[in-house]
Amino acid sequence: MLGLLQLSIKTSAQYYYYNDNYWERPWLIEGGISIGGMNCLTDIGGRKGNGKSFIKDLNLSNTTLSAGFCLEATYDYTLGFRIETCFGTVKAYDSILKHDKSAAQLRYQRNLHFRSPIREFSFLIEFHPINVLSKKKNAGSLFSPYLIGGISLFHFNPQAMYKGSWVDLEPLRTEGQGFKDCPDRNRYRLRQAAIPLGFGLRYEVSAIVNLRLELNYRMLFTDYLDDLSTNYIDPALFDKYLDPLQAAIAKKLADRRAELDPNFIGKEGEKRGNPSNNDAWLSLNLKLGFVLNRRKRV
């Protein structure tokens, strides 16, 4: 009976390639935590000059803390399936361009800013190419680069500072979202889907612990992560569609150029943002993983 049990273990498990004092099965189960930074690419802030594409416009000084946890199952060191959470805040400020004398001065004079908490739940697929290329079957590697992709659901809530308090911007409909006079501008949802894409490097510390460094970029389906997308509207529309208190605040937060120049008078239809590109956010995290199903030989 004991011999049959040992045979069963050997047929369903193998020696751990790094330390033969451990058994493991084809599926590796792992839990982990992560900490790092997050940043965003929106119409607000950015770097000097005209707005650029992708990370060329990323202003690193706006990086904030992010954290999360995950649970993953990986088959044969090659293909992993992961559920993960990520928490943090993204932010951007036009005022960051105050001393820039390039074309970015137009963004500084716009004088907008925002912050938004991020709460994300994602399903990711992870691919490690090393084991595919390796001639030795079921042989892992201490260092393993990998690619990730999947889908996520996240919640955001853009806010701006007004008279010493953070004010939610979506209910103010600063660009006329949902107003009948602006039929092309629908109200945006604060819960959205995203497409995470990225890459990472996994290092096997021991049979139980591993470390990862991972960059994850989120492609969004909204241009309103920062509550900014297109043109200024007629301020009188706020009085028409909002209650008096909301209308008064909306007028102040929709166009803040007069805060820098009291003599400035804005006009309906002037450019406020760029609707041709959706917003994005990204994270760079250090992950600490714990293998849950490697068993020490007895």
Q: Which residue has the higher pLDDT, 123 or 23?
A: 123
Tell me the residue range of the domain where 112 lies. 27-296
Please tell me the total count of domains within the chain.
Answer: 1
Q: Looking at this protein, which amino acid is placed at residue 200?
A: G
Contact 272, 227 (CB under 8 A): no
Cα separation of 196 and 149, whole Å? 5
| pLDDT at residue number 7 | 39
Note whether residue 6 is domain-resident.
Answer: no
Mean pLDDT, residues 286-297 = 88
Bridge partners for 93 per DSSP: 113
| pLDDT at residue number 19 | 64
How does pLDDT run across 100-118, given as a tens digit for each residue? 777 778 888 999 999 999 9
| pLDDT at residue number 52 | 56
Note whether residue 239 is domain-resident.
Answer: yes
Note whether residue 5 is domain-resident.
Answer: no
Note whether residue 3 is domain-resident.
Answer: no
Cα separation of 250 and 236, whole Å? 11
Mean residue pLDDT of the chain comes to 88
| pLDDT at residue number 53 | 58
| pLDDT at residue number 6 | 41
Per-residue pLDDT at 186 exceeds 60: yes
Q: Which residue has the higher pLDDT, 141 or 289?
A: 289
Bridge partners for 203 per DSSP: 143, 211
| pLDDT at residue number 49 | 59
| pLDDT at residue number 90 | 97
Note whether residue 4 is domain-resident.
Answer: no
Mean pLDDT, residues 37-63 = 79
The CATH number that applies at residue 44 is 2.40.160.20
The H-or-E segment that residue 4 falls in is helix 2-12
Whole-number Cα distances in Å, 133 to 127, 130, 197: 12, 5, 22
Token pair 């036009």 is found at 94
How does pLDDT run across 217-248, given as a tens digit for each residue? 999 999 999 999 999 999 999 999 999 999 99
Mean pLDDT, residues 200-215 = 94
Note whether residue 84 is domain-resident.
Answer: yes
Cα separation of 185 and 229, whole Å? 10
DSSP 271: B
Note whether residue 15 is domain-resident.
Answer: no
pLDDT above 90 as % of the chain: 67
Per-residue pLDDT at 130 exceeds 60: yes
Cα separation of 268 and 280, whole Å? 27
Note whether residue 14 is domain-resident.
Answer: no
Nearest to 196 by CA among 120, 145, 127, 129: 120
| pLDDT at residue number 298 | 64
Residues 8-46 as b/e (b if ≥16 CB within 10 A, e otherwise) read: eeeeebeebbeeeebbbeeebebebebebbbbbbbbbbb
